[in-house]
Amino acid sequence: MAKKKTERKAKTFSEAIGFNNILNDKTGFILGLILFLVAIFLLIAFISYFSTGQADQSLVTELRPGEVENTAHEFHNYCGSVGAILSYFLIAKCFGIPAFLIPLFIIVCGLKMMRAYEKVDLWKWFFGTALTMIWSSIMFAKFLAPFMGDKVFNPGGGHGAFCVQYMENIVGEPGLVALLVITMLAFLTYATSETITFIRKLLNPVDYLKSKVKFTVSEQGDPTAQSTNIPEQQEVEFIADNIPEPARKKESATKNKHEDEISMSVDIAKAAEQADSKTVASENIPSTPINPREPFTMWKFPTLNLLKEYDSDSQINYVDKEELEANKNRIIKVLNDFGVQIKSIRATVGPTITLYEITPAQGVRISKIKNLEDDIALSLAAIGIRIIAPMPGKGTIGIEVPNAKPSIVSMFSILNSRKFQESTMELPIALGKTITNDVFMVDLAKIPHLLVAGATGQGKSVGLNAIITSLLYKKHPNEMKIVLVDPKKVEFSIYAPIAKPFMAAVDENVDEPIITDVQKVVKTLKGLCVLMDERYDMLKTAGARNLKEYNQKYLSHQLNPEEGHEYMPYLVVIIDEFGDLILTAGKEIEMPITRIAQLARAVGIHMIIATQRPTTTIITGNIKANFPGRIAFRVGAMMDSRIILDRPGAQQLVGRGDMLYLNGGEPTRVQCAFVDTPEVENISDFIAAQPGPVTPLEIPEPLSEDNGIGGGGGLDNQTIDPLFDEAARAIVQSQQGSTSMIQRRFSIGYNRAGRLMDQLEKAGVVGSAQGSKPREVLIIDENSLDSLIERLKSKG
């Protein structure tokens, strides 16, 4: 108990002073690099000592003032006077040749700090290296010294020579040798368990072999003395001496188990033969998977130098010790004034908030501390504090106190973190840092829809920019498309340059990629519903449950592109100022959003809606039920917080990006990453300069009242597409009638291809649609097609 208490106090102190932040990525790498270079310096000096030690010995042993500067180049060591002095001390005076283990250990420490080998246990290396060096020093001084002749140093160094002479005086030469052997065996025993087995074999090989009784199991399960026809893998090694009595009673059960294993092996062999026959049947399938990034395989992701670095990125402590101590004393005083006794208190410092965790004394009610929220805030003179009683998963009560000088969490520090760089999330969203300074990330594909709300000027727009930026830094244009809805017309305008590679729109030739018109928003949302239904048809045909499974099947050549299958990117729909749209269009907006939120997760369509009006008329029950992910920035009233998070807390935030994230369980407090407008402009310009898609992804037009495709003219109104003849001829020649085939053959958008297919249906070239299956081709040869085209022209 005393040990655990001491460890807890040490951990609390290190967290309070921010010691855990000292060895961040940059500082650790620099210190590790310095250690690595020091080790190389020592190695060069040690090696040089073998040839220059005798010449430098008189200088080192009788060092006079001013000779360390080596102005006259008296020292012959490659590393100068410092190298000569260190080599003499560590090799000649101390450990001899084993002193080379010192720079080896320093190299290991350097690699550990540079995080080249993170799993290295430095304590094990330290004790192992130290023991090996001491033992080797004595052993070299005893056995190698006679063969060194008149060398300038003893191979075991001064330490080894002294220990050999001292121990031989006490136990003699045989005793010294015995001690060396015992020490070696003891060390190897702790180092590896195989040494124990090896020693046992050497000491008593006959008994060791007798203790291991081997028996084999025939196909009938009878033990036999010899193994002739039984495969080697069916032999079982049985240690008779070491089996306890209950295990001996289970021998019959073990025998039955082996019978089952033998029959199972026969079944496995049959299954393998069947698998081989299937493999032969599928030899025509290409083994190389499809690259989803084709033809833009040279795409370059945005670089970190496009983002701005702040002074806080390299800051070790966000709060000084005086502020921590003062706040701690004030909290303790307020609690004591109201008769609340506590056992301990510790602080966790974050960029904006410091969390003080208190452990109440026995018999203190949690509600009594929670009721003192206003009194503690008054004592600390803070903007607003938040009490978490109790802390989830802990036996403590948390008091979140705003820092006097909040620090900026830059987007650079978030995207430069190892957590983001090594993330394997489908749609990674890097939001910021938690109170414990950990990078906070979520996967939008698992949320799957996100509601963002907060009062004006509290960081909502910056939060949306952080979400978009993190997606752009991780996803290829073929893997993700974005739909941006901006009723205010100014928030998302900076993303206009990335329209062609990353955006999706209903219109084929879109001039304004950012959707600002309410009617166009309605059209886009309804078109997304059509796209969602089409994707579900494709998933049903492919036998896949979600978009990820479908794409994996497509990339592994399990789906035929000629049947309309293609790689599907994720679609992220981001709507800013959702409240204005609801007030303008009402149910016409809410219904398609609700339908998409309910069904679109499996087909890779995810929504993020933001509003500064957290009212029940804006955030309705349907919206809350289908948007499990919630982000709340600071709001003005507790009622607004309850509407967003179903609980209070958002009214106690400090603003400027301070937010609460909720997706089940308790909300997490996060300081949102700050990304400025010039940074977003740099990223947009960088992406626009990349060779990528030349048009936005086309969203199908919504169905009209008569279930026809809106905006498409038939043959009756003389709006036959100029490609009608060529498309009809291509379908008759290939005898495949699919919209995707027309898209690929003539490089046109989905909407135009759909209108062409409707005209071909009305003309009698293809049959009616059959879900995701290709349409039936009604014309069997080109002569019949020519006759049909002539009749149509004569009617026209």
Task: Round to whole Å and give the CA distance between 95 and 89.
Answer: 9
Domain containing residue 524: CATH number: 3.40.50.300
More confident residue, 396 or 773: 396
pLDDT given for residue 554 in this prediction? 92
Residue where a domain stops, chosen among 148, 174, 201: 201
Window from 75-79, 393-397, 433-437 with minimum mean pLDDT? 393-397
Judgement on whether residues 419 and 397 belong to the same structural domain of the protein:
no
pLDDT digits (tens, 9 = 90+) for 561-577: 888 888 999 999 999 98
Same domain, 392 and 432: no
User: Is 461 annotated as a binding-site member?
Assistant: yes
Residue 303 lies inside a defined structural domain of this protein: no
Lowest mean pLDDT among 159-173, 229-243, 634-648: 229-243
What CA–CA distance (Å, rounded) separates 41 from 47? 10
For tokens 């036996």, the residue is: 395
SS percent in the chain: helix, strand, coil, step 5: 50, 15, 35
For 73-82, what is the mean pLDDT?
Answer: 86
Here the CATH number for the domain that contains residue 741 is 1.10.10.10
Q: Binding residue per annotation — 66?
A: no
Q: What is the pLDDT of residue 281?
A: 41
Position with higher pLDDT, 233 vs 723: 723
Q: Is 53 annotated as a binding residue?
A: no
3-class state of residue 439 by DSSP: strand
Domain final residue, candidates 184, 201, 218: 201
Cα–Cα distance, 708 to 700 (Å, whole number): 12
Q: Which two tokens stand for residue 292?
A: 């989803």
Residue 586, annotated as binding a ligand: no
Residue 184: per-residue pLDDT: 86
Give the pLDDT of residue 725: 86
3-state SS class at 401: strand
pTM above 0.85, yes or no: no
pLDDT at position 503 is 92
pLDDT tens column, 273-303: 444 444 444 445 566 888 998 888 889 999 9
Contact 432, 672 (CB under 8 A): yes
Examine residue 262 and state whether it is found in any structural domain, yes or no: no
Residues 555 and 633 placed together within one structural domain of the fold: yes
Determine the Cα–Cα distance for residues 780 and 281; give it in Å rounded to an integer.
Answer: 31
Q: Is 223 part of a structural domain of the chain?
A: no
Q: Which residue shows structure tokens 């002479």?
A: 165
In the chain, the N- to C-terminal Cα span, in Å, equals: 97
Q: Does residue 622 share a domain with residue 582?
A: yes
Kindly state whether residues 378 and 510 are assigned to the same domain: no
Q: Is residue 287 included in any domain, yes or no?
A: no
Statement to judge: residues 741 and 616 lie in one domain: no
Same domain, 638 and 759: no
Using DSSP's 3-state secondary structure scheme, residue 559 falls into coil
Give the count of domains, the chain: 4
Any known ligand binding at 457? yes
Q: Is-contact 238 214, C-beta < 8 A? A: yes
> Exposed (0-12), middle (13-18) or buried (19+): which is 6, by Cβ within 10 Å?
exposed
Q: What confidence score (pLDDT) does residue 464 get? A: 95
Same domain, 395 and 419: no
Contact by Cβ (8 Å): 538, 530: no
Answer whether residue 520 is part of any domain.
yes
- Apex 27 CA angle, 24 and 33, nearest 5: 125
d(CA 495, CA 595): 27
Of the chain, the percentage scoring pLDDT greater than 70 comes to 79
Residues 81, 67: contact at Cβ < 8 Å? yes
pLDDT tens readout for residues 322-366: 888 888 888 888 888 888 888 888 888 888 888 888 888 888 888
The C-alpha atoms of residue 60 and residue 85 are separated, in whole angstroms, by 6
483 and 628 part of one domain: yes
pLDDT: is 362 or 551 the higher one? 551
CATH number of the domain at 364, please: 3.30.980.40
Would you state the pLDDT for residue 551? 93
Tokens 């050999």, residue located:
164
Residue 541 falls inside a structural domain: yes
Is 299 a member of any domain?
Answer: no
> Which residues 6+ apart lie within 8 Å of 255 measured at CB?
217, 221, 223
Look at residue 272 and tell me if it is in a domain. no
Query: Above 50 in pLDDT, residue 225?
Result: no
pLDDT greater than 90 at residue 201: no
Residue 713 annotated as binding site: no
Residues 6+ apart with CB under 8 A from 365: none
pLDDT at 719: 63
**Three-state SS annotation for 484-501:** EECCCCCCCHHHHHHHHH
Taking each continuous run of H as one helix and of E as one strand, the counts in the chain are 28, 18
Q: Is 458 annotated as a binding residue?
A: yes
Rounded to whole angstroms, how far apart are CA atoms 318 and 17?
A: 10
Q: How many CA atoms lie within 13 A of 332 on its CB side?
A: 13
- pLDDT value, residue 739: 83
Are residues 351 and 432 both part of a single domain? no
Question: 450 vs 722, which has greater pLDDT?
Answer: 450
Residue where one domain finishes, among candidates 142, 166, 201: 201
**Beta-ladder partners of 482:** 503, 572
**Do residue 532 and residue 662 come from a single domain?**
yes
456 is known to lie in a ligand binding site: yes
Q: Give pLDDT tens digits for 140-192.
A: 888 887 776 556 678 888 888 889 888 888 988 888 888 888 888 887 776 65
Domain containing 326: what range?
316-402
Q: Find out whether 501 and 690 touch, Cβ atoms under 8 Å.
A: yes
Note whether 122 and 91 are same-domain residues: yes
Q: Select the highest-mean-pLDDT range: 373-387, 673-687, 775-789.
A: 673-687
684-688 contact pairs (CB < 8 A, 24+)? 684/494, 684/495, 684/496, 684/497, 684/498, 685/497, 686/302, 686/303, 686/306, 687/302, 687/472, 687/497, 687/498, 687/501, 687/502, 688/497, 688/498, 688/500, 688/501
Burial class, 280, CB count within 10 angstroms (exposed 0-12 / middle 13-18 / buried 19+):
exposed
DSSP H or E segment with residue 388: strand 386-388
Q: Which of 189-198, 254-263, 652-661 has the lowest mean pLDDT?
A: 254-263
